[in-house]
Structure 1
Amino acid sequence: ASHLDKQIKVSSPISSSIILDSFPPSQAFFNRSWNPVMVPLLNFLQSTDSFLMLNAYPYYDYRQSNGAISLDYALFKPLAPNKEAVDANTLVHYTNVFDAIVDATYSAMAFLNFTNIPVIVTETGWPSKGDSNEPDATLENANTYNSNLIRHVMNKTGTPKNPGVAVSTYIYELYNEDMKPGPLSEKHWGLFEANGDPVYILRLTGSGSLLSNDTTNQTYCTAKDDADPKMLQAALDWACGPGKVDCSPLLQGKPCYEPDNVIAHATYAFNTYYHRMGKTSDACDFNGVADITTTDPSNEI
């Protein structure tokens, strides 16, 4: 025998929705109606040293929580200590929904007396567009979730229940599915459009480079259309001052004076600074009033 069962791992994904009473994570358990499926599956995974594949969607947990889960908590954004979720049974603090879902899965397996099966997250993500009743399915939130997710997973910090145990994770999904039925959000989970254009560029602050879904390497830093004008002007002043961008082309009578508005002028200054700094992701932040894009702003201004 080749003992391939120890070399080639076989598993099957489950949805986190079959986990009941998922917070606090320490008291989570699988929907008992699924026990006739879960117990044999977990026995198989344990006997073959395989892993449980989990599809985890904090977006849906957030949507279905009726306000109990904050958007910042779902998006891995920094929380004040008093805003963190606390497992009352263990006093463990949770700073994001993703970790809580993974730890709830470990607890659900332990409830069935399986304590040594690792979890791999085979699907997770955030939609970039939605219907009118899905206001948090936006480009900004999708970018924030996936960028923060990758940064979190790459830190290999594990979860509060299993610190130091890295959670291998796969983003859902590569391409948008414009023909998929259901709500508009169902069509917009992808990192790329069907034609191969990036939906958005993943950012890792401080990583020194953009993440790999920029296939063209032609990226630009532009001012956000909806940015606060005062913050935008302050960022423009910084770029043309301490940022040492040569903003003389923006003066009246110079080539880049028109259109004479703060968005166009800020885009010129931001993009110049961004390219001078080697197009690192943190060179296009400007206190949140700028975005990285694959569209050349000179074609639009």
Structure 2
Amino acid sequence: MGIRGGRGAQPSASLLLVSLTLVGLVLLSFTSSSSVEAQKKTWCVAKPSASNDILSLNLNYACSQVSCAVIQKGGPCYYPDNLVSRAAVAMNLYYAANGRHPWNCYFNNSALVVQSDPSYGSCTYY
């Protein structure tokens, strides 16, 4: 049986120090990236190439999950009264209500995340 001296404890102490350093760096990278992401706002809009069938499905799905009152007649986003505009507003409402994560703007690959505010006239994209 060997008896460990004072040096036998060093590898485990070094390992602990390295582990704590790595955990700290990982946590720091998460906070740094979140603060950068918080500074740039994004919106979800319909792809220009999306078919009317897909946009109709997106519109119906998004409005079943969030209030789409802004695109109803008399609402600030009713005009222009076309499927692309109405679907884009509804898709963005869903995207915003669910945390603005890229996966909340997928819509079967018929949507895009943009960094330019698509608001127009009295229609504000949130």
Q: Same fold (TM over 0.5)?
A: yes
> Which 5+ residue runs of structure 2 have no aligned equivalent?
1-32
Q: Greater helix share, 1 or 2?
A: 2
Which residue number in structure 2 is paired with residue 240 of structure 1? 63
Which residue number in structure 1 is paired with residue 116 of structure 2? 295
Partners of 2:120 and 2:39 in 1: CA distance: 17
Superposed, which structure 2 residues align to 1:1-301 within 5 Å?
A: 216-241=39-64, 244-299=65-120
Deviation at 1:216, TM superposition (A): 4.2
Partners of 1:232 and 1:292 in 2: CA distance: 16
Which residue number in structure 1 is paired with residue 19 of structure 2? none
> How high is the TM-score relative to the length of structure 2?
0.62
Deviation at 1:299, TM superposition (A): 3.8
**Alignment: residue pair count:** 89
Partners of 1:235 and 1:224 in 2: CA distance: 12
Partners of 1:220 and 1:286 in 2: CA distance: 14
What secondary structure does 1:288 align onto? coil
What's the Cα RMSD here?
Answer: 2.4
Partners of 2:37 and 2:80 in 1: CA distance: 29
What secondary structure does 1:272 align onto? helix
Partners of 1:282 and 1:221 in 2: CA distance: 11
What secondary structure does 2:119 align onto? helix
Q: Greater strand share, 1 or 2?
A: 1
Give the % identical residues.
Answer: 35
> Which 5+ residue runs of structure 1 have no aligned equivalent?
1-209
Partners of 2:85 and 2:76 in 1: CA distance: 13
Detail structure 1 runs of 4+ shifted over 6 Å in the superposition. none
Question: One-letter code of the match for 1:287?
Answer: N
- Bigger radius of gyration among the two: 2
User: Which is bigger in relative contact order (C-alpha 8 A, separation at least 6)?
Assistant: 2
